[in-house]
Amino acid sequence: MSDTITITGNIATEPEHKRTPAGVAITTFRVASGQRRYDRNTGTWVDAHTNWYTVSAFRGLAEHAFRSLRKGDRVLLTGRLRLRAWDTGTKKGLTAEIDVEAIGHDLLFGTTRFEKDAASLPSNSSQAANDWSPEEERPSGDWVVPGADAALEPVLIGAGSTIDEAQALVDSVAPF
């Protein structure tokens, strides 16, 4: 079974970082995803079942996860779910594993600060090119058409649009 799953939960073990013989980085940890429900009889929230997942991140995501995540952090993650049956001869069970594709802190419970990794930026870009400000000039060939109300967001018409298409858009939003 290999399905995409998104969960929120707490990291229950300190992340471990390893490398395969081929040099591929892997970070693994366990996540507890607790379920809560509202009990109408008592008028309180109660803890229900907790699902446990073994999470694995690979390559660059593994490097970033190991530097960013700690035991106890509340996270939101998405990845491919795999259920694996196991048998030790005396016991049998089922393990839920997630090969994570994206992971981040759950901002409902705290704050975090994102820091770009210079190694993952394209080699021809600079930090200044990645910073955006509203004063920056738009790419040549695009037109900004203001809406009828100055408070409306401008509409960006792509460079492939014709003058007639731009005029038709202006006519549809302008009150005159």
Q: What is the pLDDT of residue 173?
A: 53
**What is residue 60's predicted lDDT score, i.e. its pLDDT?**
93
pLDDT of residue 171: 61
- If DSSP codes are grouped into helix, strand and coil, which group holds residue 41? coil
For the chain, give the number of residues. Answer: 176
Round to whole Å and give the CA distance between 111 and 105: 8
Instruction: At 102, list the tokens.
Output: 């994206």
pLDDT tens for 146-176 read 444 444 444 555 555 556 665 665 565 555 4
16, 56 Cβ separation under 8 angstroms: no
Q: What's the rounded Cα separation, in Å, for the pair 29 and 123?
A: 32
67/128: higher pLDDT: 67
What is the SS3 assignment for 115?
coil
Residue 31 CB partners (closer than 8 Å, separation 6+): 7, 9, 10, 11, 12, 52, 53, 55, 75, 77, 98
Domains, the chain, in order of start with CATH, read: 3-122 (2.40.50.140), 136-173 (no CATH)
Report pLDDT digits (tens) over 59-71.
999 999 999 999 9
Q: Across-strand partners of 99?
A: 56, 80
- Give tens-digit pLDDT for 5-54: 999 999 999 999 999 999 999 999 999 998 888 889 999 988 888 999 99
pTM of the model: 0.63
